[in-house]
Amino acid sequence: MPVGLAELGSFAGKGQYEAQFSRCPRTLVVALQLGRASAAAGTPNTQEIAELVASSGAQVVATVTGRRDRPDPALFIGSGKAEEIRLLSADQGVELVVFDHELSPAQQRNLQNALGRRVIDRVALILDIFALRAQSHEGKLQVELAQLNYLSARLVRGWTHLERQRGGIGLRGPGETQLETDRRLLGQRVKYLKQRLAGLDRQRLNRRRGRGRDGSLKVSLVGYTNAGKSTIFNGLTHAGVLAMNQLFATLDTTSRRVFLAPGQFMVLSDTVGFIRALPHSLIQAFKSTLQEAAEADLLLHVIDAADPERHAHEDAVNQVLAEIGAADVPRIQILNKADLLQLPCRLEHGACGSISRVWISAAQGQGLDLVRRAVSFFGWPSPAPDATEQDAIDALTAGAPIYPHSLL
């Protein structure tokens, strides 16, 4: 860390987040249904934000929901709902209030004053989790850069005690305020982080070029967080990366070479999971890592087939892929957790005869051979499968009912 920037370690470093969440604070979650059609939309789904809070190490003790046509400019939720939350927080001993929305800096400050408790939004919560989970040097730099970009708009200290500083002849006048000092130090740290990440990005680019020289197919696993990407990666590569039933269990991209058939290999990369309303600053900070997906020959889009929100999750993944320039990369959908739906593992063909979907159960180790076969068919297509190969495909998919796409 450059000289003079050490104080930023307590301002936006990883240790700050570990200290805040090490004692499992009692947390209240706030989620609103916004828009004029909110009355017909029902109660907001708070399951995901509750899982995010649990992943950060906090404990959800109360949940508040509601509906508004538009956010209140000052408090986001309005004064009446704020008073309701204040009373409930006092009754439940709440230490932290988490909003399942992005708050403006002014709204966050006003809410903290009105509630008398620390208030964070969805963006800050995700950044906290990333700060706790980052393991590699590059991952820590990326998370810190995203944190500083987020906090730069929330610098509120404006003390003027530094104005007593004076220069020499011809330089007399007010010195820096505390706010200006903070901004200058933060800007220097951001510049330093960007330089370090640019160097790591060049190293990553050289590694990608080296992997491409042997003719291997570049394949990336993408999908919503906790869909089972790391479990599939371990099943195909035996890499032993961390795989847990937890949001954002792994952040760092891992790549391994996988044998498909004689003369056929792929380099499989496990990328960070996506999520609804993924902070833009985080996407920008992880852009070099996410380039593994943008420059892949094929994307394996892992979907939790048993999740009732899976169609919304697919849309969220497609949105992030479009933002990083991977919208046009060919992809095959991997429908994971088929065992929870009591459906067989099978292949599904698209309109042109190519394999468009693979149903598997990664936790049970079932269907991974179908994933290898699907990637092999994509990378090394043949004009028409011979009789032996077609018999093998028919045997693998025998007895598997075909379900309409709209029903699954």
Task: Please indicate, yes or no, whether residues 181 and 297 belong to a single structural domain of this protein.
Answer: no
In a domain, 407, yes or no: no
Residues 142 and 240 placed together within one structural domain of the fold: no
What CATH number is attached to the domain comprising 120? 3.40.50.11060
Q: Which of 164, 188, 213 is the last residue of a domain?
A: 213
Query: Does residue 62 belong to any structural domain of this protein?
Result: yes
Are residues 219 and 197 part of one domain? no
Q: For residues 71 and 152, state if they share a domain.
A: yes
Residues 170 and 304 in one domain: no
3-state secondary structure string, the chain? Answer: CCCCCCCHHHHHCHHHHHHHHCCCCEEEEEEEEECCCHHHHCCCCCHHHHHHHHHCCCEEEEEEEEEECCCECCCECCHHHHHHHHHHHHHHCCCEEEECCCCCHHHHHHHHHHHCCEEECHHHHHHHHHHHHCCCHHHHHHHHHHHHHHHHHHCCCCCCHHHHCCCCCCCCCCCCCHHHHHHHHHHHHHHHHHHHHHHHHHHHHHHHHHHHCCCCEEEEEEEECCCCHHHHHHHHHCCCCCCCCCCCCCCCCEEEEEEEECCEEEEEEECCCECCCCCHHHHHHCHHHHHHHHCCCEEEEEEECCCCCHHHHHHHHHHHHHHCCCCCCCEEEEEECHHHHCCCCEEEECCCCCEEEEECECCCCECHHHHHHHHHHHHCCCCCCCHHHHHHHHHHHCCCCCCCHHHC
Q: Is the pTM of this model over 0.85?
A: no
Domain housing 209 = 1-213
For residues 57 and 183, membership in a common domain is answered with yes
pLDDT by position in tens, the chain (length 408): 333 333 333 333 333 333 344 478 899 999 998 887 655 555 678 888 998 998 888 999 999 999 998 999 999 999 999 999 999 999 999 999 999 999 999 999 999 999 999 999 998 998 888 888 777 788 888 888 888 888 887 775 544 444 444 444 554 445 556 667 777 888 888 898 888 888 887 887 777 676 656 668 999 999 998 888 989 999 999 877 666 666 776 666 788 889 998 889 999 988 878 888 777 777 776 776 677 788 889 999 999 999 988 999 999 999 889 888 889 999 999 999 999 999 999 999 887 778 999 999 999 999 999 999 999 999 988 654 444 455 554 554 444 444 433 333
Clarify whether residues 270 and 377 are in a common domain.
yes
Same domain for 250 and 180, yes or no, is: no
> Is there a single domain that holds both residue 368 and residue 349?
yes
**Residue 289 vs residues 149, 191, 206, 277, 302: alpha-carbon distances, Å:** 18, 19, 13, 19, 18
Specify the number of domains making up the chain. 2
Domain boundary among 213, 237, 264: 213
Rounded to 5 degrees, φ, ψ at 125 are -65, -45
